[in-house]
Amino acid sequence: MSSIQVQLIASIQAGLSSLFHIEENDLSLQETKKEFEGAYTFVVFPYTKRAAKAPAQIAQALGDYLLENNPQLVKTYQVVQGFLNISLHDSVWYVLLQEIASDDSAFQLAPKNEKIVIEYSSPNTNKPLHLGHLRNNFLGYSVAQILKAGGYEVIKTNLVNDRGIHICKSMLAYQLFGNGETPSSSGLKGDHLVGKYYVAFDKAYKSEIEQLVSTGVDPEKAKAQAPIMLQAQAMLLAWEQGEPSVIQLWETMNAWVLEGFAASYKQMGVDFDKIYRESNTYLLGKKLVDEGLSQGVFYQKPDGSVWINLEDEGLDEKLVLRKDGTSVYITQDMGTAQLKYEDFGAQQSIYVVGNEQDYHFEVLFHILKKLNKPFSLGNYHLSYGMVDLPSGKMKSREGTVVDADDLMQEMVDTARERTLELGKIEGFTEEESNQLFQQLGMGALKYFLLKVDPKKRMLFNPEESIDFQGNTGPFIQYTHTRICSIRRKAIEKGYPLNGETQSKISFAESERELIFLLGTYKSKLAEACENFSPSIIAQYSFDLAKQFNKFYNELTILNEENEEIRTIRLTLADLTGKTIQHATSLLGIVSPERM
């Protein structure tokens, strides 16, 4: 909060006390809507009953009080029903600008002395990453960066689902149809090769179901009796029993996939402080199941399967261990929760997982509480909406997903085409050009997927995302390069980027709006932290870039003859560039300096 806001709030508090005998310690100001005159708005509706006055009367009286008692601060005011819109003197805008320019912690909130573990990505080693995984990874990484800037100690983790029936499906299909194919012999990335056999399993499985149904078997029974599914289930049991040949095949195929994932993560620009593997956590989960059985938290059915009854919590019964003793997803999630707590002792644990798993995490959190574990508190499921395509929902089993590697390369290629069309790389070496195409393509992709509130389902449109105009990553990146160009030219001319001037200078509306926006960055950062929402930072980045372009198009900067005015405008440009660079970095986006 700026010193100006502090003064205004103090004056409004004094006015409420003096005029209406209302003592109020918790006041806040809002940004005045653009269609009205003013910088800050105070809402008076909550005080009508205590003041025994109509909202407009309260606002009018407070406005007069502010003019009389803070004439050096308040220039004028406007009453719109129960809203008091306050306009500030030019000298105040100068003070705000100087405060922003001299704030050494402009991009960092106060330390919270709190540790947060954030788990994201969580891929399966039976298929490559797809468009949905991109939203997951970009969201998890961005939330981690935002929380770090918010003053938290953040640990980024990834739980790789490297075991289970879905993994055995790929393994079995490779065993049946692979003929010794390898990433080297096929020319495919390891994760793509293994994914090929996941699709092959589903094709063979459906064929067997159709054959059984044609002989009169009920469709549901056919799904359970299909020979290839029974083989996959037998392979899972053999894996859990440590059958050497199964373990060897599993290790080989997992190694192929993990190598492929590493290349994909590098292209995405995301990383992790620790990677867990389900194969190392499921046994700990089984121990917790045994512990819960002894405590009466779980119960065993006659067939040997283990369950928990959560009907009192408004849920239902949930399987935690199959009748053959093999674990399910929730088993390893219990084990991983304990491991993360033992490793980091974090006060909060965030799971970035799609909203398809809302019920799963509701159950998991109830189980941990019933087990009375210290890590049962502070768990949060950052549930996000699925990503759709114009053609509809993606399906991994049917091979109708948008591959993450292909999409990232397509975005970079499109960035290359658009940039060359616009002629924005004069004087660039080939290496510099390729780096720019990479930054623009990935910036477009990340911004498009992050600008939507995480909770909302979204439609991905590649063509729209790469545009250099409108609410896109490239538009914001291009604005940053424009500011960098101004900065370079100012330095060449020997102009100060941030110097002292007289406070009597009159500010244009576009300057005041830019100063105001710059002054709200910390509050936007705090809001993004509170809501785990990169979309707040994305929208702010766009608003700031859009306002800078308005300022740039309306006013002269480098050619301004008045030295003090020029210095102020260069200061504004410089602060805007630094803020855009920081805000976009929280989204995992690189803002280039030249284009």
Q: Which 8-state DSSP code applies to residue 198?
A: H
What is the Cα–Cα distance from 82 to 119, expressed in whole angstroms? 45
What are the start-end ranges of the E strands in 337-397? 348-354, 379-384, 387-388
What is the Cα–Cα distance from 288 to 69, expressed in whole angstroms? 66
Contact 330, 360 (CB under 8 A): yes
448: nearest Cα among 458, 456, 438:
458
581: nearest Cα among 444, 470, 454, 484:
484
Q: What is the pLDDT of residue 396?
A: 41
Contact 405, 264 (CB under 8 A): yes
Contact 489, 561 (CB under 8 A): no
Q: What is the pLDDT of residue 34?
A: 82
For residue 420, what are the CA distances in angstroms to 53, 59, 348, 377?
A: 64, 56, 47, 53
65-94 b/e (C-beta count within 10 Å ≥ 16 → b) = bbeeebeebbbebbbbebbbbbbbbebbbb
| β-bridge pairing 317-321 and 30-31 | unpaired
| β-bridge pairing 40-43 and 30-31 | antiparallel
Question: 306: helix, coil or strand?
Answer: strand
63: nearest Cα among 15, 4, 6:
15
With a CB cutoff of 8 Å and minimum separation 6, the contacts of 119 are 140, 157, 158, 159, 336, 340, 349, 350, 351, 352
Q: What is the pLDDT of residue 501?
A: 65
Contact 505, 565 (CB under 8 A): yes
pLDDT by 10s per residue, the chain, length 595: 778 888 999 999 999 999 999 998 888 898 888 889 888 999 999 999 999 999 999 999 999 999 999 998 999 999 998 999 999 988 888 888 988 998 888 899 999 999 999 999 999 999 999 988 999 999 999 999 999 999 999 999 999 999 989 999 999 999 999 999 999 999 999 999 999 999 999 999 999 999 999 999 999 999 999 999 999 999 999 998 999 999 999 999 999 999 999 999 999 999 999 999 999 998 999 999 999 999 999 999 999 999 999 999 999 999 999 998 888 889 999 999 999 999 999 999 999 999 999 999 999 999 999 999 999 989 999 999 988 776 544 444 444 578 899 999 999 999 999 888 887 777 889 999 999 999 999 999 999 999 999 999 988 877 777 777 889 999 999 999 999 999 999 999 999 887 666 656 788 999 999 999 999 999 999 999 999 999 999 999 999 999 999 999 999 999 999 998 999 999 999 999 999 999 999 999 999 999 8
- Number of Cβ within 10 Å of residue 255's Cβ equals 13
Instruction: Say which residue the tokens 């965030």 belong to.
Output: 350
The secondary structure element, H or E, covering residue 77 is strand 74-80
What is the Cα–Cα distance from 576 to 517, expressed in whole angstroms? 9
Alpha-carbon 14 to chain mean position: 41
Strand partners, 317: 309
Q: What is the pLDDT of residue 395?
A: 46
Contact 402, 394 (CB under 8 A): yes
485-509 b/e (C-beta count within 10 Å ≥ 16 → b) = bbbeebeeeebebeeebeeebebee
Q: What is the pLDDT of residue 399?
A: 46
